[in-house]
Structure 1
Amino acid sequence: MTISEPPKFRRYAAEERAAMLVKAGLECLGEGGITAFTIDNICKKAEASRGLIAHHFGSKDGLLAAVYEAAYEPMLQEVNSDPPLKFPSMLKRIFGVESYSVENLRIWLALWGEFAVNPKLRAAHQRNYGSYKAAVEAAIEEHCFAHGLKVDAAAMAASVIALADGFWLEQCIDPEGFDSARALAAAQSLLEPLLGKLEDADES
């Protein structure tokens, strides 16, 4: 008779365990929206105890704020680089973000719907949106200075982000009729009367 060895348990570092909970939270939102974002579902996916959410994040709302940070990070990476991106190149990145999937749409719809009732999530959004908008605004200002143009860079940055969000929604709703290339072309056609030809700096 062969005696099986007892299961081996891995002890995770605190940072690893926190990251696993965030990943599980993202997966729950992606699969079922905010109604699937429950402590039981998250702990089951992360193979963690309920107490670890309170230990690492204080509460489920704290975890939701951390999930929001994780969802926003790829977008921040798209607009921040060293050296800074030229605006035409940044525009191409904004409308070509690979994370713009239907699954991520469910995540964002769930998060957007919580802003009004979750102060921690609202604070995280204000901080991340501010960083994102600042990078877009700086690229627009540099572009205008280089080409002798005068525009309201702050207002235009907000408009670019709103366009990206709107086109992304349309792309997720009708992926066969609207894609990233069409979204980029539409954005360029709207912006070029004010900013001139927006050729990709990496290709020009």
Structure 2
Amino acid sequence: MGELGKFERKLPNDRRKALIEATLACLAREGTAGLSIRKISKEAGISIGLINHHYAGKDELVGAAYEHFSLGHLDRNRERIEAAGDDPRARLHAYIEGLLSAPMMDRGTLRIWVVFWSIIENSKPMLDVHDRTYAAYRALLASLIEAAGRQAGAPPIDGRLAAIALTAMLDGLWLEGCINPETFSPEEAVMMCESWVDALFSGKMPRLLASIARN
């Protein structure tokens, strides 16, 4: 990268990609201090004027970076699921394992999520991105739980509620694992989630069964 003020010429799509990647790099390195158009401009090698040409403001750029970041992790998890083959329980295991291993468990990843979450309360565009991406994660997990439950001969499960509950468990383990990786190993975290799934499929969580949840 050249000195500030000496910027590379990039095609529009390449510029957007470079800006998003630069935004994520600044947030991973500096946290909220990285939320500066000047710093993002320097990181991307793109002038502030061109940033303003592509995005209405910093909030729009950060929102685009949030969506790219969140769905990028989801896409990587989809790849893990497909690599697991056709067995429904193996596919569910791949989803769980993917959210409790690198790069999700990296400190830089945590730092980026924390910055994004700190903005959501006061930003409708960021809240909209959160709702869309969370819905995508939840829908995928619900389908995996329901398929694995059918394979196991479990009672009909309310996939939406089960996905919300398991996501909450995954988020808690992920957060603590990032903050203090000495508390438990990734393998132990996966085992705890798998034990939760076993209990669900055995009917020991009756309030998450479809017949009861609908009433």
Over 3 Å counting, the alpha-carbon distance change for 1:10 and 1:50 in structure 2 is: closer
How many angstroms apart in 1 are the aligned matches of 2:45 and 2:121?
31
Q: Which runs of no fewer than 5 residues in structure 2 stay unpaired?
A: 1-5, 203-215
Over 3 Å counting, the alpha-carbon distance change for 1:136 and 1:79 in structure 2 is: farther
SS of corresponding position for 2:46: coil
Partner of 2:13: 15
- Alignment check: 8 A CA contact 2:8 2:46 kept: no
Cα-Cα RMSD: 2.1
After superposition, the C-alpha distances for 1:3-50 in whole angstroms (9 at most, x for unaligned) are: xxxxx9752111111111111111111122223211111111112111
Partner of 2:183: 177
Structure 2 residue corresponding to 1:164, chosen from 150, 164, 170 = 170
Q: Which amino acid aligns with 2:57?
A: S
Partner of 2:145: 140
Percent identity of paired positions between Structure 1 and Structure 2: 30
Partner of 2:51: 53
Q: Which has the higher contact order (CA 8 A, sep 6+)?
A: 1
Q: Tell me how many residue pairs correspond in the alignment.
A: 189
State how 1:1-204 maps to structure 2 within 5 Å: 10-81=8-79, 86-149=91-154, 150-195=156-201
How many angstroms apart in 2 are the aligned matches of 1:31 and 1:132?
26
Over 3 Å counting, the alpha-carbon distance change for 1:182 and 1:74 in structure 2 is: farther
SS of corresponding position for 2:16: helix
SS of corresponding position for 1:80: helix
TM-score (norm 1): 0.83
SS of corresponding position for 2:184: coil
Q: CA deviation at 1:97?
A: 4.5
How many angstroms apart in 2 are the aligned matches of 1:123 and 1:12?
29
* Greater per-residue helix proportion: 2
After superposition, the C-alpha distances for 1:65-116 in whole angstroms (9 at most, x for unaligned) are: 1110121123211443557763233223232342321011110001011111
Partner of 1:199: none
Q: Which amino acid aligns with 1:187?
A: C
